[in-house]
Each structure stands twice: as C-alpha cells, then as structure tokens.
Amino acid sequence: MSTVAEHYERHLGPIYVWMAGGAEAALQLGSAEIEALNLPVTRGAVVLDLGAGFGMHSIPLARRGARVTAIDSSVELLRTLTKLRGDLPVQTVNDDLLGFQSHITEAPSAILCMGDTITHLPDLGAVENLIERVSVELRPGGMFAVSFRDYSVPLAGEQRFIPVRSDETRILTCFLEYEPEAVLVHDILHERTSNGWQTRVSHYRKLRLSPEPVINCLQAKGFKVRREAGMRGMVRLVGECV
Ligand SMILES: C[S@@+](CC[C@H](N)C(=O)[O-])C[C@H]1O[C@@H](n2cnc3c(N)ncnc32)[C@H](O)[C@@H]1O
C-alpha cells in the first residue's frame, strides 16, 4: 500500500486535473462552491486551504481578493497550482496539513479543508486535533469549511467499482475495500500508449468518517455548524467561530 503522499506523487498527481474534468471546469465548480460557502472573506482577508491540491478553491478565493496560503503534501499538485494561479496571491506550501500553524502570520478569516481531504488523516483523533487547532487560530467570526465523503455505510458487491472518468486515451476506475475504521481506495488507471493499453494500480487508506462526530467536535469547540450537501455527493460542514 502507498502512503497518501506516494499515491498522489506517483499515481494521481499527474492525472488529477484530468480526473477533475479539466482545469477550467474544475475552477468553475470550485468558484460555485466558494459562493455557496458564504465565507466572511473581504479583500485582503487571510485564508488557509488545507490539502489545496491544484487550487480548485484557492484560486477562486484569490480571485475574490483573499490572500491564500495553499498547503499540500503533493509537490506535483502544487506545481500545477503555481501554473494556474498566474499573478494571484496564492502562496503554496509543501507540508503536512497538520503543520498548518507554522505557516500562519495573521489570524485567518477562514480555513478550508475541502474535497475529501480530511479523510486522508489517520484517525478520528487526528481530525479532532485539527479542529481544536483550527478553533484556536481563526479570527472571531471566522469560518472552518470541510467537505468529505461519508464512507460509514459500506457499498457492497459491484457497487464498490466506481467509474471516475474515461475518454479515448484514459480510463480511471476506483475500487473500494472496507476495513472497520478505514476504506482502502484502489485507483485503477488504464492509459493508451504507443504500445497499447497499460494498466497501473495503486491504493491508499481513507478514514470512514461520518458527519456526526465531526459536527459534535465542532460544536464542542464553540462552532455554530451548518450541514449541507456538497459537490459530487460529499457532505459539507461549515462552522462559524462564535
Ligand atoms: C482529494 S484531494 C482534494 C484537493 C482539493 N482540496 C480539492 O477540493 O480539489 C486531497 C488533497 O489533499 C492532499 N493531502 C492529503 N493528505 C494530506 C496531508 N496530510 N497534508 C497535506 N496535504 C494532504 C493531497 O495531496 C491532495 O492534493
């Protein structure tokens, strides 16, 4: 099994933008999601994007005038973000998202952890620890937004094979294998080369996180929580630091 960082570096990173439907479409989706979040972000506000990937949310935020710090463990995806951001004020940081506090110079108005990033953490304790630290760092009235897939109810049989995207040169299929606390995500990639089709498979572990413990933890840290439907079947939680 690969670590998350290895999986993104070797397997998903090079095709991530393709997987997300192309840069333009993905940034449009990210922009719509930023609109829906209704964050307290005025011009010059500081925002942290944890597990920012290629900047699906960081770039739309910067277009709205925020100063964004985009943290990710994938050098490959941060390289893509740097190309896509142009002159926008998005600072990229290659680090584990749990180390986010060492990259704060001003209290953030918002902290994001979107697109099923939080399920990459090793266990619920790490999720609670992250929320604790976020609650300490946000400005009063600041917001924490998180979106993730609820893997708590297992898919069965052939439902565990999920077609992600395909075109004439590439097919990406995901296969899920359940453990009590985690799900092993196998990404099966077929690519057409000059020597015919080639197949590469890599898998990594994601947490089977359900929304309730995350909501409970946010509320225990003093957040007022909004729960809504996120993109592509994800759960979205928005906590306001009151
Ligand atoms: C599913 S992608 C989501 C990317 C982006 N937030 C989005 O919505 O498109 C998860 C991202 O989190 C990053 N990641 C996973 N675990 C991480 C960690 N512990 N620290 C920093 N980045 C991490 C991966 O490299 C990847 O870019």
Q: Whose CA is nearest to atom 2 of ligand 1?
A: 117
Q: Whose CA is nearest to atom 7 of ligand 1?
A: 115
* pLDDT the model gives residue 6: 85
Name the band, by pLDDT with cuts 50, 70 and 90, for residue 99.
Answer: very high
| Mean pLDDT estimate for the chain | 96
How many whole angstroms separate alpha carbon 17 and alpha carbon 55?
10
Ligand 1 nearest-atom number relative to CA 95 = 21
Pocket of ligand 1 (CB under 6 A): 4, 8, 51-53, 56, 71-74, 77, 96-97, 114-117, 120
Cβ contacts of 68 within 8 Å, gap of 6 or more: 47, 48, 49, 52, 58, 61, 62, 88, 89, 90, 91
Torsion of CA 148, 153, 154, 157, to 10 degrees: -120
Q: What is the pTM of this model?
A: 0.96
**Separation of CA 121 and ligand 1 centre (Å):** 10
In the predicted model, is pLDDT for residue 10 greater than 90? no
How many whole angstroms separate alpha carbon 195 and alpha carbon 172?
19
Which residues, listed in sequence order, are joined to residue 188 by a DSSP beta bridge? Answer: 173, 201
**Separation of CA 74 and ligand 1 centre (Å):** 8
Is the distance from CB of 147 to CB of 236 less than 8 angstroms?
yes
Q: What is the mean pLDDT of residues 76-87?
A: 96
How many whole angstroms separate alpha carbon 195 and alpha carbon 35?
45
In the predicted model, is pLDDT for residue 110 greater than 90? yes
Is the distance from CB of 120 to CB of 130 less than 8 angstroms?
no
Q: What is the mean pLDDT of residues 210-225?
A: 97
Strand-pair category, 182-193 with 196-207: antiparallel
Name the band, by pLDDT with cuts 50, 70 and 90, for residue 242.
Answer: confident
**Separation of CA 194 and ligand 1 centre (Å):** 32
Eight-class DSSP state of 151: -
Q: Residue 112, Cβ neighbours under 10 Å: how many?
A: 28
Total residue length of the chain: 242
**Separation of CA 103 and ligand 1 centre (Å):** 17
- Among 4, 54, 117, say which to mutate for ligand 1: greatest number of ligand atoms within 8 Å of CB: 117
In the predicted model, is pLDDT for residue 202 greater than 90? yes
In the predicted model, is pLDDT for residue 2 greater than 80? no
How is residue 16 written in tokens? 């991530």
**Separation of CA 17 and ligand 1 centre (Å):** 13
**Separation of CA 166 and ligand 1 centre (Å):** 22
By the 10 Å C-beta count (0-12 exposed, 13-18 middle, 19+ buried), 131 is classed as buried
Is the distance from CB of 185 to CB of 176 less than 8 angstroms?
yes
Q: Whose CA is nearest to atom 4 of ligand 1?
A: 53
